[in-house]
């Protein structure tokens, strides 16, 4: 019997690279310039996985037009890249893990809510783009951010893999919820939140600190 096509779909920020603290610090500075104070942990839980325009409209006003949003988002992204640029590296074990997954016949995709510039900042400038069969940049490829399932369903479609045969890698509750709505199982990386933050999700099949704790063959046996 032919084995069905399978795919591993990776969120980018906080999952391929451990950068969410730098995003949060950039947002803190961005909002401080406007007289707003945000609580980091609550902000992450409420926004991780959402598109920048969704975050800006939530905090600064739903009436913001697209041109204003683009300008504001660029300001925040410049702050983030200045902070994180000297620290860019993949999460421990990631490179070996995806190389082994490729050998085992898995399709590989990225599904991120980052801006196109931020995606290039990680995937292109770190020479990661070539390792993936598909890259979905949610801010341009789908209308809605997480927890809506759009970005993961688009990645599955581009890999020609059924959602039920995809495993999502995430670090945020909104992302795990998006995977659940897409009919996909999820592996959680605790780069930003502890394991107990994901206790409510019945689609989580593993919770790990990094990719050193994962085995491709073990995941294959669960699919």
* Digit-coded pLDDT (tens) for 21-77: 898 899 999 999 999 998 888 887 788 767 888 899 989 998 999 899 999 989 999
pLDDT: which is higher, 163 or 53: 163
Sequence spans of domains, the chain: 7-17+89-222, 20-86
> CA separation (Å) from 73 to 49, 87, 190?
15, 21, 27
CA distance 143 to 152: 12
Specify the 3-state DSSP secondary structure of 189.
strand
CA distance 36 to 61: 13
pLDDT averaged over the chain?
92
E runs forming strands in 32-183: 107-112, 134-137, 166-170
Specify the 3-state DSSP secondary structure of 138.
helix
The pLDDT of residue 223 is: 61
**Is the predicted pLDDT of residue 155 greater than 90, yes or no?**
yes
Strand ranges across the sheet with 134-137: 134-137, 107-112, 7-10, 166-170, 185-189, 204-208
List beta partners, residue 135. 110
Own/partner pairs for 207-216, CB < 8 Å, 24+ apart? 210/91, 210/92, 210/93, 210/94, 211/91, 211/92, 211/93, 211/94, 211/96, 211/97, 212/92, 212/93, 213/93, 214/93, 214/97, 214/187, 216/97, 216/100, 216/101, 216/104, 216/106
CATH 3.40.50.1000 fits 7-17+89-222, yes or no: yes
| pTM summary value | 0.86
**Is the predicted pLDDT of residue 137 greater than 90, yes or no?**
yes
**Is the predicted pLDDT of residue 138 greater than 90, yes or no?**
no
The pLDDT of residue 96 is: 96
Own/partner pairs for 62-69, CB < 8 Å, 24+ apart? none
One of 3.80.30, 1.10.10, 2.60.120, 1.10.150 is the CATH number of 20-86, namely 1.10.150
Specify the 3-state DSSP secondary structure of 132.
coil
The pLDDT of residue 48 is: 73
Taking residues 119-147, what's their average pLDDT?
A: 94
Distance between alpha carbon 152 and the CA centroid of its chain, in Å?
10
**Is the predicted pLDDT of residue 1 greater than 50, yes or no?**
no
């Amino acid at each position: 019997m032919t084995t069905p096509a399978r795919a591993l779909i990776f969120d980018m920020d906080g999952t391929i690279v451990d950068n969410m603290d730098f995003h949060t610090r950039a947002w803190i500075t961005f909002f401080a310039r406007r007289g707003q104070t945000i609580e980091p942990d609550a902000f992450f839980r409420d926004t991780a996985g959402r598109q920048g325009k969704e975050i800006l409209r939530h905090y600064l006003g739903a009436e913001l037009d697209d041109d204003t949003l683009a300008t504001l988002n660029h300001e925040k992204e410049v702050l983030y890249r200045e902070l994180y640029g000297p620290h860019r590296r993949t999460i421990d074990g990631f490179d070996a893990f995806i190389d082994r997954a490729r050998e085992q016949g898995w399709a590989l995709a990225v599904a991120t809510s980052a801006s196109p510039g931020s995606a290039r900042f990680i995937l292109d400038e770190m020479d990661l783009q070539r390792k993936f069969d598909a890259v979905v940049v949610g801010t341009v490829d789908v209308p809605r951010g997480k927890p809506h399932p759009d970005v993961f369903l688009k990645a599955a479609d581009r890999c020609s893999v059924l959602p039920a045969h995809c495993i999502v890698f995430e670090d945020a509750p909104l992302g795990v919820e998006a995977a659940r709505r897409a009919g996909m199982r999820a592996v959680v990386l605790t780069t930003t939140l502890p394991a107990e933050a994901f206790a409510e999700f019945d689609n989580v099949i593993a919770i790990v600190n990094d990719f050193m704790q994962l085995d491709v063959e073990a995941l294959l046996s669960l699919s």
